[in-house]
Amino acid sequence: MLRSMSAAALPDAHGIPMSTVRTAGPRAVPLWWRDLSAAVAWALVLFVVSLWVAGGGLSFGNAADGITTLGRLTGLLASVLLLLQVLLMARIPLVEQAWGQDELARVHRLVGFSSFNLMLAHIALIVVGYAASAGSSVVSTFVEQVLTYPGMLLALAGTIALVLVVVTSIRAARTRLRYESWHLLHLYAYLGAGLALPHQLWTGLDFRSSAVATAFWWGLYAAALGAVLAFRLLLPALRSARHRLVVADVVVESPSVTTVVMAGRSLHRLPVRAGQFFQWRFLDGPGASRAKPFSLSAAPDGRTLRITGEAVGPGSDRLRTLRPGTRVLIEGPYGRLHAGAKVRRKTLLVGAGIGITPMRALLEELPAGREDTVLVYRVGRQDDLVLTDELLDLAQDKGAKVVAVVGHRNRERASWLPAQLGHLDDAEALLRIAPDVADRDVFVCGHPPWMDAVQQAARAAGVPAEAVHSERFSY
């Protein structure tokens, strides 16, 4: 049922100091950066096609030529998409902030599968085209190309690495793998891209067709490598060294949920906001090399960072055994789920289960004002509620309304509401809790299918797409 946790305790908005708002980090990168980066990506693809045309690509003399020429084009497109893919996942701050993690993950899948399909088409078309013009069999042409053309054995190894990455990324296979195993295999994509490079340089006509083409391809490979080194390795290493985070406190919130507070140097200089997350490595023994993503569960105060994690496996389970003084390495902050992304004055925060953590931090950072912030906290059972005292205290300070929605999920239809509220329409329920929801930013975090239901309900209640912000706690 819908239960207001704070209705009686709500203070009058007058007298709540607006100065409680913290200014922890920069504003979000504007959404037009997303359009700009997409336009640059398309421009690169078009440039590759124009290089192919300028290099005599349009040669369709006979069927064999036609097939080979299409093989060259698909190979070039596969390469440029693969490199764009590397750039997309290099965590370049402007790109990461413009897109947000959820959108990036969606585009990453789309570009990745497109690049892979084009690569398979490239291999098939080139082999068939060469076999047709030489009058030999497809198998013998394939073997001859691999064994005699420079760089082709490496390219074959690169292809196998990419096949491995793609096969393990198909949803059915992915859910069977532990995250670490999947992630390790996924890193083979870098190997695949690296091993494919030599055959493009040594045998790819289009790489050597003009000085412009050569400079372009070398430049793109260098940019991809540079971005990965700078933003995935160097920046996290510098931040970890600069801030020297250590565990300061460990608080057991419930049998399965633990809060960890970390202290560090010059944390006021870390450009982070409530709602964002880091990849954390706790240097407390074996397994420390595995990074785990956790969102901040408190607004950053310039002295400490705080996370609250639910034990679902070995990485999250170790939170409760951490000892004060343990060194912590960070990658991040990441994510667009922060107040800088807001396009409205008022806010509706909707968190389910442990998805409450970034909502708790956001509630702390958002300005005070009578019901300017409404927080919906969805759990399966009353016992699953965590951080309730903090949430109620914050709600009181901020004049916010907190509503807990408790009950087991509806198995008959996709809904963000529990089964016992199955008679209510999803959008109608949001409107009951926040009648002006269409004029609010809506922040959503929780289990992915549940989040989809909330997002659909928000859209149906009149919230525009740009005012809906989400973060999935899954990869």
Ligand X SMILES: Cc1cc2nc3c(=O)[nH]c(=O)nc-3n(C[C@H](O)[C@H](O)[C@H](O)COP(=O)(O)OP(=O)(O)OC[C@H]3O[C@@H](n4cnc5c(N)ncnc54)[C@H](O)[C@@H]3O)c2cc1C
Compare residues 37 and 101 and give the one whose CB is closer to ligand X.
101
CA distance 401 to 395: 6
Specify the long-range contacts of residues 359-362, CB closer than 8 Å, at least 24 apart.
359/443, 359/445, 360/297, 360/298, 360/308, 360/387, 360/390, 360/391, 360/394, 361/274, 361/275, 361/295, 361/296, 361/297, 361/298, 361/299, 362/274, 362/275, 362/299, 362/337, 362/338, 362/443
**Count of residues in contact with ligand X, rule CB under 6 A:** 25
Q: Quick check: 278 and 332 in contact, CB under 8 A?
A: yes
CA distance 25 to 361: 14
Compare residues 122 and 306 and give the one whose CB is closer to ligand X.
306
Compare residues 30 and 314 and give the one whose CB is closer to ligand X.
314
Compare residues 101 and 145 and give the one whose CB is closer to ligand X.
101
Compare residues 112 and 315 and give the one whose CB is closer to ligand X.
315
Say whether residue 475 binds ligand X (CB under 6 A).
yes
Q: Quick check: 243 and 265 in contact, CB under 8 A?
A: yes
Residue type, 99: W
- Stretches 14-22, 62-70, 291-299, 373-381: which one binds ligand X (CB under 6 A)? 291-299
Say whether residue 313 binds ligand X (CB under 6 A).
yes
Window 402 to 431, contacts with ligand X (CB under 6 A): none
The structure tokens listed for 461 are 């209640």
Say whether residue 258 binds ligand X (CB under 6 A).
no
Q: Quick check: 377 and 348 in contact, CB under 8 A?
A: no
CA distance 466 to 347: 13
Query: Shortest Cβ contact with ligand X: which residue?
Result: 313
Window 182 to 241, contacts with ligand X (CB under 6 A): none
State the nearest-atom distance from the C-beta of 140 to ligand X, in Å: 45
State the nearest-atom distance from the C-beta of 315 to ligand X, in Å: 3
| DSSP H or E stretch at residue 445 | strand 440-446
State the nearest-atom distance from the C-beta of 191 to ligand X, in Å: 20
The structure tokens listed for 198 are 């030599």
Say whether residue 179 binds ligand X (CB under 6 A).
yes
Say whether residue 100 binds ligand X (CB under 6 A).
no
Region of 387 on the Ramachandran plot (φ > 0 left; ψ -120 to 50 alpha; else beta): left
Among 109, 178, 268, 303, binds ligand X (CB under 6 A): 178
State the nearest-atom distance from the C-beta of 362 to ligand X, in Å: 12
Say whether residue 103 binds ligand X (CB under 6 A).
no
Compare residues 148 and 175 and give the one whose CB is closer to ligand X.
175
Closest-CA residue to 300 (of 373, 367, 362): 362
Among 37, 97, 159, 295, binds ligand X (CB under 6 A): 295
Residue type, 355: G
Among 293, 332, 333, 351, binds ligand X (CB under 6 A): 293
State the nearest-atom distance from the C-beta of 103 to ligand X, in Å: 13
- Stretches 32-40, 146-154, 308-316, 387-395: which one binds ligand X (CB under 6 A)? 308-316
* Burial category of 433 from C-beta neighbours within 10 Å (exposed 0-12, middle 13-18, buried 19 and up): middle
Binding site for ligand X (CB under 6 A): 101, 178-179, 277, 291-295, 307-310, 312-317, 354, 357, 471, 473-475
